[in-house]
């Protein structure tokens, strides 16, 4: 089922240290929209309840594969390439709603534009 999820995202260089975001950033995306199936990240958040969070620490060059289509949404709010070789991220679920049909169409169009990302993430995919 397609759901629009909203998260507060915190980022940092150290484990359990979210020093790169003085205040959490807000991100929203439509869960399950990618044609290639669920990303590892989407699988990891599948059972989250409201206000629960998931934390991850990984090399920045692995984030695109792990996050899947969520990567471009995250790149719109923070430049992931400006950070160290590894990054800690915390995603706290804030909202889960039914997306409007127009939001689904827009999200699909964004995924297709510029080779799959928004074109401003400096990810090298376009």
Question: DSSP readout, 87-116?
Answer: EEEEEEEEEEEPPPHHHHHHHHHHHHGGGG
d(C-alpha 5, C-alpha 2), whole Å: 9
Q: Give the CB-side neighbour count of residue 32, counting CA atoms within 13 A.
A: 10
pLDDT value at position 1? 75
Query: Nearest-CA neighbor of 33 among 60, 5, 52?
Result: 5
SS3 22: coil
Residue-by-residue pLDDT tens, the chain, 126 positions: 789 999 999 988 777 778 888 899 999 999 988 878 899 999 999 999 999 999 999 888 888 899 988 888 788 777 666 666 888 899 999 999 999 999 989 888 887 774 554 444 455 544
d(C-alpha 66, C-alpha 104), whole Å: 22
Query: Nearest-CA neighbor of 44 among 24, 21, 68?
Result: 68
CATH numbers and ranges of domains, the chain: 3-116 (3.10.50)
């Amino acid at each position: 089922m397609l759901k629009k999820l909203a998260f507060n995202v915190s980022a940092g260089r150290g484990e359990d240290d979210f020093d790169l975001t003085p205040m959490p950033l807000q991100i929203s995306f439509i869960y399950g929209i990618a044609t290639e199936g669920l990303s590892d990240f989407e699988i990891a958040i599948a059972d989250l309840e409201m206000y629960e969070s998931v934390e991850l620490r990984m090399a920045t060059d692995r984030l695109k594969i792990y996050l899947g289509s969520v990567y471009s949404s995250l790149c719109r709010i923070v430049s992931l390439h400006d950070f160290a070789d590894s990054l800690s991220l915390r995603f706290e679920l804030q909202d889960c709603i039914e997306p409007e049909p127009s939001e689904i169409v827009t999200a699909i169009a964004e995924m297709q534009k510029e080779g799959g990302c928004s074109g401003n993430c400096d990810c090298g995919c376009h």
